[in-house]
């Protein structure tokens, strides 16, 4: 009787999970179908299988607009921002975990406080700072505010704390310094957390809208979220073109998550995040 109850519970659980997955997946499927359906609009009859599929929307997107430059802008900024966050967060996490100093708890608490401040509150002072530095309408102006991450420091510090200190002591006896211990022992043992931060950092930069909208003025410097907003205003009735741009914006994140999925799960589990 108990085994039958467990089986029924497992079936119900699987059905709920499958239904939830279908609900989550439907908007993406709808975007792909709409992007290959010429002349699709909000008033069109909903169809999951297009009657006359075509890639004309993608051709129009890259033929009439500098969309390839927009994608490269977003990709370059996202990669640079993610690499900077991973490097700075890993080094800060090692310092907080392995190099105790007076006031380290207070400094770490200040890092955590930065996670509680809405970015909208920082827009004006950041813009004034970038203007004073002469970085308005430049890639550096869009990149500098995201070179460090309080969340990244917290995540990687939790991971570094899980690395046995006996490994550090053994390496110290062999004559290794902090730099070698960091590069040869700590970093290889926190790869799941690094992969997690890479996915989160890339996703945040790739989807960033407000700061690039304010700091980047030239059309050739636009990032993908800003260009999609412009695209929606320019092609209000041509939803196939709008959805083609949305599909292109989804693909890099989807590929990154598929590659790093295993490490993301391990990193979240080992860091104690809920």
Domain coverage including residue 152:
63-271
What tens digit of pLDDT does each residue of 208-267 get?
A: 888 999 999 888 888 888 888 877 665 555 777 888 888 888 888 888 877 777 666 665
In a domain, residue 23? The reply is no
CA distance 168 to 180: 10
What tens digit of pLDDT does each residue of 88-109 get?
A: 999 999 988 888 888 888 888 8
pTM of the complete model: 0.81
What tens digit of pLDDT does each residue of 15-55 get?
A: 888 888 888 888 888 888 888 877 655 555 556 666 777 78
DSSP string, 153-219: HHHHHHHHHTS-HHHHHHHHHTT--HHHHIIIIIHHHTHHHHHHHHHHHHHHHHT--HHHHHH--SG
Number of structural domains (the chain) is 1
Predicted pLDDT at 6: 58
In a domain, residue 56? The reply is no
Predicted pLDDT at 139: 92
Residue 274 binned pLDDT confidence (cut-offs 50, 70, 90): very low
In a domain, residue 6? The reply is no
Predicted pLDDT at 113: 85
Has residue 81 got a pLDDT over 70?
A: yes
What CATH number corresponds to the domain at position 98?
Answer: 1.10.3720.10
In a domain, residue 85? The reply is yes
In a domain, residue 209? The reply is yes
Predicted pLDDT at 8: 73
Q: Which residue has the tokens 């599909």?
A: 247
Predicted pLDDT at 245: 84
**Averaged pLDDT of the chain:** 82
Residue positions counted in the chain: 274
């Amino acid at each position: 009787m108990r085994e039958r109850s467990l089986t029924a519970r497992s079936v119900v659980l699987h059905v709920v999970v499958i239904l939830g997955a279908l609900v989550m997946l439907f908007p993406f499927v709808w975007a792909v179908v709409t992007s290959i359906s010429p002349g699709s609009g909000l008033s069109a009859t909903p169809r999951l299988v297009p009657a006359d599929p075509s890639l004309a929307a993608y051709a129009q997107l890259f033929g009439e607009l500098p969309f390839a430059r927009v994608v490269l802008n977003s990709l370059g900024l996202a990669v640079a921002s993610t690499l900077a966050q991973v490097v700075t967060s890993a080094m800060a996490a090692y310092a907080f975990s392995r190099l105790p100093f007076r006031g380290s708890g207070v400094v770490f608490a200040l890092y955590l406080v930065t996670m509680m401040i809405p970015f909208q509150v920082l827009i004006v002072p950041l813009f004034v700072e970038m203007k004073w530095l002469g970085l308005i309408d430049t890639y550096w102006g869009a990149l500098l505010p995201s070179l460090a991450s309080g969340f990244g420091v917290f995540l990687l510090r939790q991971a570094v704390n899980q690395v046995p200190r006996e490994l550090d002591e053994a390496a110290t006896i062999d004559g290794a310094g902090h730099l070698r211990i960091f590069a040869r022992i700590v970093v290889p043992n926190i790869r799941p957390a690094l992969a997690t931060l890479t996915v989160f950092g890339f996703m945040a930069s790739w989807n960033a809208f407000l700061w690039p909208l304010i700091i980047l003025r030239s059309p050739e410097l636009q990032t993908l979220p800003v260009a999609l907003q412009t695209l929606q205003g320019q092609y209000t009735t041509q939803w196939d073109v709008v959805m083609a741009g949305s599909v292109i914006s989804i693909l890099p994140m989807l590929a990154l998550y598929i590659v790093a999925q295993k490490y993301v799960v391990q990193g979240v589990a080992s860091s104690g995040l809920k």
